[in-house]
A and B are shown apart, each in its own frame.
Chain A
Amino acid sequence: MDGIGRTFASDWRGSGGLAWQWGPRIPDLTATGYNRMVVSMQTIVRDFDGTFAALADATRRDIVRRAIAGEEGVSELAEHYPMSFAAVQKHVAVLERAGLVSKERIGRRKVVRTNREGLHMARRLLDQYEELWRGRIARMTDLITETEETDA
């Protein structure tokens, strides 16, 4: 699970100029990004919460899965569920607000499409916390090694 997330994160970083298409920029918790992290933390946390809240519902997760293909509109999606069109429309609206799906016009139709960047945002945030702490542990190790040498 983590392996996939990490591969993807480095893939994203490796693409260099690729701009964050959706939502606020995730802060880079490495050295140079620290202050930017402080500044933008509030927005990120709010959106991070929104992402998980949106995914906390089975129907909405299913919509996200179906909308990867980006072929169905709200009315076609609604046919898959034993609930009203209005209820499905509401679920789509929650996902839209969380940045997980967006509506796209294809010819005369409007389709719902999953926003992949929105999906891996939550995982990336945890990945960056891991990096922050890995850096700290490395410095702790250096410190311990250093005092051992002094004592010797």
Chain B
Amino acid sequence: MTVTAVRKQAETFTMTLEAEFDAPADRVWQLWADPRQLERWWGPPTYPATVDAHDLRPGGRVEYHMTGPEGDQPRGYWEVARVDPPRSLAFRDGFANEDGTPNTGLPATESRVTIEEIGGGRTRMSIESIFPSAEAMEQVLAMGMEEGLKQAVGQIDAILAENSIARA
């Protein structure tokens, strides 16, 4: 098990995933910094990614396309916000049009990657993905309802549990 923790905060539209690798931080950083390595893990096996541009500097862009089983090629890009090798990386991950320009009609996700050595030759990587939330987030903050929404998520789970018991 390399994934050690997953936290899903529905109320802030955030998912944090932690994983540990038997490798030093520099090696883990290469997975992001070397485009040939990045394309070997970014896309699922039937939608392999090809990295077309890779400028991992603040303000730089990473552009990629994926090739599907029917030859379809969805495109995506990263807008790099912060880079601190081999410790952290922050970028905005969005979908692109056929000509590589950002498809503003589709949502972009903010991602923050943190890499730290934890001793014994092991490295922990954490990825925080913030889902776009526009309207709901504004509304939630305006109403000061963050706590309430957390409860709502708890309630959703309780309701779902009731439902699965009822079905069983």
Interface residues of A (CB under 8 A from B): 1-2, 4-5, 7-8, 11, 30-32, 34-35, 38, 41-42, 45, 48-53, 55-58, 61, 64-65, 68, 114, 116, 119-120, 122-123, 125-127, 129-130, 132-141, 143-144, 147-148
Contacts and interface: CB of A to CB of B under 8 A. Distances in A.
Given A49-B134, A50-B136, A123 B10 contact: yes
A141 B2 contact: yes
Contacts of A144: 21-23, 27-28, 31
Given A11-B164, A35-B72, A49-B134, A136 B41 contact: yes
Interface of chain A, main secondary structure: helix
Contacts of A45: 107, 131-132
20 contacts: A34-B47, A35-B68, A38-B95, A38-B106, A41-B107, A45-B107, A53-B135, A53-B139, A58-B145, A61-B148, A65-B155, A114-B159, A119-B159, A120-B156, A123-B10, A134-B3, A137-B3, A137-B17, A137-B19, A141-B21
Contacts of B19: 137, 140-141
B101 interface: no
Interface string B15-55: 10101011100011001000001001111111100000000
Contacts of B59: none
A57 B58 CA distance: 39
B139 A34 contact: no
Nearest to A34: B47
A45 B106 CA distance: 9
Interface of chain B, main secondary structure: mixed
A52 B140 contact: yes
A56 B139 contact: yes
For the complex of A and B, 7 pairs with smallest distance between CB atoms = A139-B41, A31-B44, A31-B46, A52-B136, A49-B136, A53-B136, A55-B152
Interface string B124-157: 0001010111111001100101001101111111
Given A2-B8, A38-B74, A135 B44 contact: yes
Nearest to B72: A35
B160 A31 contact: no
A44 B143 CA distance: 24
Contact of A57 (B131, B133, B143, B155): B143
Contacts of B80: none
Contacts of B106: 38, 41-42
Interface in B70-95: 72, 74, 95
